[in-house]
């Protein structure tokens, strides 16, 4: 997720509970694109030794292949093609989810990537652009390539993040493809993750937004999958997490406004997850100083009735 799943955040997960593998924020590929600093920083300075794939977002097979070839010389484990980003400003550029309206170009891109590197090529997609009925045709095209994994967000592109989730698409993909199929989209808790795997036969789950609000979720999934009691974070655990997030900017000398803005990007999803009433979420959004921000966090997370799965 752009601006959130940085090297610093991945390093936090090393202490809170890691996923089995990582996929980077997308690297935007255009005619003059290079492997940018945030990607090289992630590759070279991350703490984890678990597999890392770099996600590419683009529409030109030639330039995507050029970047993939360069990445083949880096210490990574795979390349992931983004065919699912539904954000309107991304779609307007003809990349991400908008590529699902031109599956011939998708074929050309995947072929170019496979021919440019020996790294595994995985795909992250949605089940269609306009309608779920498009998914059969998408699967036919994907099945003609030797992709390593399919990460499947179970909504259409036009459905953004509000459309009802389609569980049946996972079973369809499993029947059509020879590669592992990973479920993505609206997975908020460890119990939901395991339910989806059991219900659909998915080979795993991909989690992004929920890891921001609950960085212990991968640890919880692991515990529940082994019939153990899942870790439940306390208010002090969340305060420690927020303190670590603040340290992202240590040594760079940002203004208070910039630091507050950075903190809010992470704190708003946290507040939305743990605050059913909405008072804390409102205070976080309206905070105008770091002192006001941290005061709201301290008051909420030290309250006697704090509940990591929804206070209020």
DSSP class of residue 222 equals H
280 shares a domain with 140: no
On whether residue 163 sits in a domain, the answer given is: yes
pLDDT digits (tens, 9 = 90+) for 22-47: 999 999 999 999 999 999 999 999 99
pTM assigned to the model: 0.92
DSSP class of residue 228 equals -
Q: Which of 2, 36, 74, 85 is catalytic?
A: 85
**Distance separating alpha carbons of residues 68 and 263, to the nearest angstrom:** 33
The length of the chain in residues reads: 312
244 shares a domain with 180: no
**Distance separating alpha carbons of residues 125 and 105, to the nearest angstrom:** 14
From its phi and psi, is residue 306 left (phi > 0), alpha (psi between -120 and 50) or beta? beta
Nearest to 129, CA basis, from 109, 103, 162:
103
Question: Residue 162 — very low, low, confident or very high, per pLDDT cuts 50/70/90?
Answer: confident
Could you list the residue range(s) of the whole structural domain that residue 273 is in?
235-301
Does the active-site annotation cover 2?
no
Domain end call among 199, 225, 251: 225
pLDDT digits (tens, 9 = 90+) for 240-268: 999 998 876 544 556 888 888 889 999 99
Domain end call among 161, 193, 225: 225
pLDDT digits (tens, 9 = 90+) for 56-78: 999 999 999 999 999 999 999 99
256 shares a domain with 145: no
* 3-class SS shares of the chain: helix, strand, coil, % to 5: 50, 10, 40
On whether residue 192 sits in a domain, the answer given is: yes
Nearest to 241, CA basis, from 265, 277, 272, 215:
215
């Amino acid at each position: 997720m752009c601006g959130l799943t940085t090297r610093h955040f991945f390093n936090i997960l090393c202490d809170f509970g890691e996923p089995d593998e990582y996929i980077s924020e997308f690297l935007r590929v255009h005619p003059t694109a290079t492997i940018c600093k945030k990607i090289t920083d992630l590759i070279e300075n991350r703490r984890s030794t678990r597999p890392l794939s770099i996600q590419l977002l683009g529409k030109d097979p030639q330039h995507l292949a050029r970047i993939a070839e360069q990445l083949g010389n880096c210490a990574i484990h795979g390349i992931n093609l983004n065919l699912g980003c539904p954000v309107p400003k991304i779609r307007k550029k003809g990349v991400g989810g908008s590529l699902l309206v031109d599956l011939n170009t998708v074929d050309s891109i995947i072929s170019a990537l496979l021919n440019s590197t020996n790294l595994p090529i995985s795909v992250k997609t949605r089940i269609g652009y306009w309608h779920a009925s498009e998914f059969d045709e998408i699967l036919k095209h994907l099945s003609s390539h030797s992709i390593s994994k399919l990460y499947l967000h179970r909504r259409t592109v036009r459905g953004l993040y509000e459309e009802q989730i389609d569980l049946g698409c996972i079973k369809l993909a499993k029947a059509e493809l020879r590669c592992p199929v990973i479920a993505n989209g609206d997975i908020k808790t460890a119990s939901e993750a395991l339910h989806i795997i059991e219900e659909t036969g998915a080979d795993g789950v991909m989690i992004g937004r929920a890891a921001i609000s609950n960085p212990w979720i991968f640890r919880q999934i692991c515990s529940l999958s082994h019939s153990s009691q899942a870790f439940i974070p306390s208010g002090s655990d969340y305060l420690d997490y927020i303190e670590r997030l603040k340290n992202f900017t240590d040594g760079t000398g940002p203004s208070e406004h910039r630091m507050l803005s950075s903190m809010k990007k992470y704190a708003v999803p946290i507040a939305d997850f743990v605050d059913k009433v909405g008072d804390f979420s409102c205070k976080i959004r309206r905070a105008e100083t770091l002192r006001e921000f941290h005061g709201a966090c301290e008051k909420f997370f030290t309250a006697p009735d704090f509940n990591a799965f929804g206070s209020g």
